[in-house]
Amino acid sequence: MDTPPPLLHIDNLRAVKVLGKGATGTVFLVHDKSGGQPFALKVAEKSSAHRRARHEISVLRRLPPHPLLPHLICSFEDDEFICWGIPFCPGGDLNVLRHRQSDRVFSPAVIRFYLAEIVCALQHLHQQGIVYRDLKPENILVQLSGHVTLTDFDLSRDLAVRKSHFSSHTIPKSNTRSRFALGKKKAKSARVSPVSRRNPIEDFSANERSNSFVGTEEYVAPEMIRGDGHEFSVDWWALGVLAYEMLYGTTPFKGRNRKETFRKILLARPEYIGKPDPLTGLIGELLEKDPTRRLGYWRGAAEIKEHRFFRGLRWELLTEVSRPPFLPSRDEPKEGGIDVKEHFRRMNLPPSPPPDGCRSDLSLAEF
């Protein structure tokens, strides 16, 4: 039986600094007065985000250990707050790291390494029947080792796993033509269809598909916009958007506003610079509008690992690489004296809505 995470109390923690603020709550770098290594503490108000917070804690608690995914260090709550701790990643996120590059893009070799690790992390989630649904550079953190880890599981969902997803199932003949081709059939309307707003607590059961509409607008898959229902392949679509952004410094379907972005996601093809190569080939196969023709739909991560962009990669040794592309500083964070509760109250003012056209989180479901 797994040992439950220790029960700490917020009054025994002191914050070194604020690491970030999201839809669910605020993240602090904290240390326990009794000692131990600093860790990241998420703090959410019960009045605003308790369902999403409890869902993320539940996912972290039951995830089998994996070197590219976080584990739950502690969790606790009082009358006002829900708090949970995860390991601190001193390397920041991939968005920050990309902007530190001289041309604000990664080389194909660096992209290959990070994409491979993300594929392995998503594969582990999918094997547990969890679709992530929030893949983006800001949610990919760099550990002290230089390897990545995913974060923020409040938009994840439990889904039933198809037997073919982790077998040697062959793609049906009707789906064997090039995934680059959109086909000659009439394209669906770009009008954004109404989507289901069913209680997400009901959707947390092992359904075959989900109808919730969540994510970050530039990373949302076409089937989400159409309201067709979706499954694990929305994560592979997001992987294609991520790869494109890492290569070119922008997402492939970004419009002047949300409506134009959605229209491009539904109808436009990604534009590439230069001659086709294995990386752009991978992106094109991941950004297939029809999820049943998308790379990864039939056999999950196995299909993506077999792509020629990853040819020669020793997948079994990936997490043992001692010199990843970027190694964070080993400087120990200085102990601070910020009171977590007071600082949370002071900074947790109602956020202003993002201007139309800015990348923003979408969640029409109440968590």
Query: Does 193 share its domain with 71?
Result: no
| Model pLDDT for residues 256-298, shown as the tens digit of each residue | 999 999 999 999 999 999 999 999 999 999 999 999 999 999 9
What pLDDT, on a 0 to 100 scale, did the predictor assign at position 215? 57
How far is residue 258's CA from residue 228's CA, in Å, rounded to a whole number? Answer: 19
Residue 47 domain flag: yes
Return the active site residues: 134
Residues 6+ apart with CB under 8 A from 365: 197, 198, 199, 200, 203, 212, 213, 214
Distance of CA 172 to the CA centre of its chain: 29
Provide the domain limits for residue 312: 94-320
For 348-362, the pLDDT digits (tens) are: 555 444 444 445 554
279 and 212 fall within a common domain:
yes
CA gap 343, 15 in Å, rounded: 9
Is residue 5 in some structural domain?
A: no
Encode burial over 84-110: b for 16+ CB neighbours within 10 A, e otherwise. bbbbbbbbbbbeebbeeeeeebbebeb
User: 171 and 306 share a domain?
Assistant: yes
**What tens digit of pLDDT does each residue of 321-333 get?**
999 999 998 776 6
Do residue 127 and residue 201 come from a single domain?
yes
Q: Which tops the pLDDT comparison, 57 or 36?
A: 57
Domain check: are 283 and 218 in the same one?
yes
Q: How many domains does the chain have?
A: 2
Q: Give yes or no: residues 258 and 156 share one domain.
A: yes
pTM score: 0.81
Q: Which residues of 37-70 are buried (b: 16+ CB within 10 A; e: fewer)?
A: ebbbbbbbbeeebbbbbbbbbbbbeebeebbbbb
Q: Which residue has the higher pLDDT, 43 or 347?
A: 43
pLDDT at res. 189: 33
Same domain flag for 215 and 116: yes
- HSE (CB half, 13 Å, CA atoms) of 164? 11
CATH number of the domain bearing residue 311: 1.10.510.10
What is the tens place of the pLDDT at every residue in 132-183? 999 999 999 999 999 999 999 999 999 987 666 655 444 443 343 333 333 3
Mean pLDDT value across the chain: 81
Average pLDDT over residues 110-123: 98
